[in-house]
Amino acid sequence: MRILFVCLGNICRSPTAHGVFRDIARREAPGLVTEVDSAGTADYHVGEPPDPRTCRVAARRGYDLSDLRARQVESPDFERFDLLLAMDRANLQALRQLAPPTHRGRVQLFLEYAGHATLSEVPDPYYGDEAGFIQVLDLAEEASRRLVARLRDQGRLRAD
Ligand code: 4NP
């Protein structure tokens, strides 16, 4: 199972989901996910590390995002990843337009696919205060736990 998290800039929401999900998947279901990555639909921040506010709130809960660098979604991603999980509807639309028609089903909303109880989009925290970044982290943790459980139920554990 290979999963790509996608937002606009790849410096706030998708790196948070990337860093949180890889730790939770490794801990709760080793072998389930063979590759985790993140990317942006825009190219504004290509090559940059995650936003310092993203790194700070993640580090307080033990997630290290320091190895991540922003990149833009590219066409091979639709072949390479089994699931491309968008943070909001604008990015979902952008991805579905880029996706080959046969692979559009791989593009889903992160919170919806994970079965979040109330929200379907992760709000963009970029122009707001720290509370927005904490909300992104809370949503990433809750949705990642649910997503790991869902994938496990689907029986996608590797034989080893
Ligand atoms: P992200 O947040 O999509 O969660 O990485 C944003 C980052 C940068 C910008 C907008 C949103 N920007 O306009 O530069």
pLDDT in tens, 21-78: 999 999 999 989 889 999 999 999 999 999 999 999 999 999 999 999 999 999 999 9
156 is catalytic: no
* % of the chain with per-residue pLDDT over 70: 97
Q: Which residue has the higher pLDDT, 59 or 160?
A: 59
Question: Do residues 91 and 6 lie in contact, with contact meaning Cβ atoms separated by under 8 Å?
Answer: yes
Query: Which residue among 11, 54, 65 has the greatest number of ligand 1 atoms within 8 angstroms of its CB, and so is best to mutate?
Result: 11
Residue 75: C-alpha distances to residues 1, 34, 99, 101 (Å): 18, 20, 7, 12
The residues lining ligand 1, judged by C-beta closer than 6 Å to any ligand atom, are 7-13, 44, 124, 126
Ligand 1 centroid – CA 76 distance (Å): 23
Using the predicted structure, report yes or no on whether residue 84 has a pLDDT greater than 90.
yes
Using the predicted structure, report yes or no on whether residue 158 has a pLDDT greater than 70.
no
For residue 16, which of 144, 152, 155, 159 has the smallest C-alpha distance?
144
Question: Do residues 143 and 83 lie in contact, with contact meaning Cβ atoms separated by under 8 Å?
Answer: no
Residues 6+ apart with CB under 8 A from 4: 36, 37, 38, 39, 73, 77, 80, 81, 83, 84, 85
In this predicted structure, which of 2-6, 106-110, 112-116, 153-157 has the lowest mean pLDDT? 153-157
Task: Give the type of residue at 11.
Answer: I
Using the predicted structure, report yes or no on whether residue 9 has a pLDDT greater than 60.
yes
Catalytic residue among 13, 22, 53, 106: 13
Nearest atom (ligand 1) to Cα of 7? 3
Q: What is the pTM of this model?
A: 0.96
What was the pLDDT predicted at 155? Answer: 72
Ligand 1 centroid – CA 11 distance (Å): 6
Would you state the structure tokens that stand for residue 97, as one six-digit string?
């337009």
